[in-house]
Amino acid sequence: MSNERSEWDWDAVKHALRRALENEAVGGEPSAESAQQELRRRARELARPWSLEDNAETLSLLPFEIEGACYALEPDYVLEAFAAEALTPIPCTPGHVAGLIVLRGRMLPVLDLHVVLGMASQTGEGRRKVIVLSDGRMEFGLQCDRVLGTYELPLAQLQTENRGHSPYIKGITTDQWAVLDAGALLGDVSLVVDRTV
């Protein structure tokens, strides 16, 4: 212990602490150098030309993640995304129904996409994001781990072949995103639970 301590450069430690105190005194603002660097980086990013928009037809997609697997939805059927506070499980429902959630005074069923797609699912615990889908008649939420935002995908990058046997998947992107058919999901009556207990 004594050796470790003796190896420490006490002067360096003192200097670092003094600088931190000085920063604090300025008001939490980053230093001029770091601010300059950050600003330059952002400028370069913005200056990048948006070439895809002009040349090719694109498909707007809303990608999200479930257990590390990436899926994407066409934003046409998406109402919104929000962070769920508490999911109420419904007893006597099939496995794909994760539970109920109250959204601004409305009751919204939430589905587990992995169960719907016939994949083994872990517990829905921790999936705090819900994407709300609606076609005007049917409305439900999809549990997910993370919403990645919107994305413009060139159509050339979407493979509609080899998309598997699932009726809910429209295609696979080159980044291995499974592009979901939101209309098919919403129109599938098999997902509707009409049961009296």
Partner 1 sequence: MSAFKNLKTRNKLLATFALLALVFTVALLLAYRNLQEMQQSQQRLVDEQFGLLLHLKDMRVDTNALRATLVTSALEQRMPETQRAGLRERLKDQTESVDFLVRQSAGDSRVAGLAETYKQVWAEFAAAATDEILPLLATGQYRQAREVILGPQSDRVERLRELGDQIVAVENAHIEQLMTQNKQRVESQRNGMVVVFCVVLVLMVLLAWVMARLIAGPLENLTRWAHQIADGEVSSQRPSEARRDEVGLLSEAFFDMSRYLSDLARNAERIAEGDLREDPEPKSERDALGNAFYRMVTNLRATLQDIQEGSMVLGAASQEILASTSQVVSSAQETATSISEITTTVEEVKQTASVASDKARHVNESAERTKQVSKEGQAAIASSMDGMRQIREQMHAVAGSIVKLSEQSQAIGEVVATVNDLAEQSNLLGVNASIEAMRSGEYGKGFSAVAQEVKSLSVQSKQATAQVRAILNDIQNALNKAVMLAEQSSKAVDNGYQQAEASAQAILTLKESIEESSGAAVHIAASSQQQLVGMDQVATAMENIKQASQENVEGTQQAEQAARNLHDLGKRLKGRVSQFQLGTASELDPLSEGRMMTSPPVGDLSKKV
- In the list 52, 79, 90, 191, the residue contacting partner 1 (rule: CB under 8 A) is 79
Three-class SS of 90-113:
CCCCCCCEEEEEEECCEEEEEECH
Greatest extent of the chain over all pairs of C-alpha atoms, in Å: 75
Q: Which stretch binds partner 1 (CB under 8 A): 71-79, 85-93, 100-108, 160-168?
A: 71-79
Query: Closer CB to partner 1, residue 24 or residue 194?
Result: 24
Binding of partner 1 at residue 149 (CB under 8 A)? yes
The answer to whether residue 179 forms part of the interface with partner 1 (CB under 8 A) is no
CB of 91 to partner 1, least distance (A): 30
The CA distance from 87 to 78, in Å, is 20
Residues 96, 114, 127, 129: which binds partner 1 (CB under 8 A)? 129
Distance CA 113, CA 64 (A): 11
Residue 105 to residue 132: CA distance in whole angstroms: 14
Whether 64 contacts 180, CB under 8 Å? no
Instruction: Establish if 78 lies at the interface with partner 1 (CB under 8 A).
Output: yes
- The closest alpha carbon to 66, from 30, 136, 115, belongs to 115
Q: Which of 83, 120, 189, 197 binds partner 1 (CB under 8 A)?
A: 83
Residue 65 or 82: the one with the smaller Cβ distance to partner 1 is 82
Q: Does 75 bind partner 1 (CB under 8 A)?
A: yes
List, in order, residues 6 or more apart from 24 with CB less than 8 Å away. Answer: none
Q: Does 175 bind partner 1 (CB under 8 A)?
A: no
Would you state the structure tokens that stand for residue 185, as one six-digit string?
Answer: 């999901």
Task: Return the number of the residue (67 or 76) whose C-beta is nearest partner 1.
Answer: 76
Query: What are the residues binding partner 1 (CB under 8 A)?
Result: 60, 62, 75-76, 78-83, 129, 147, 149-150
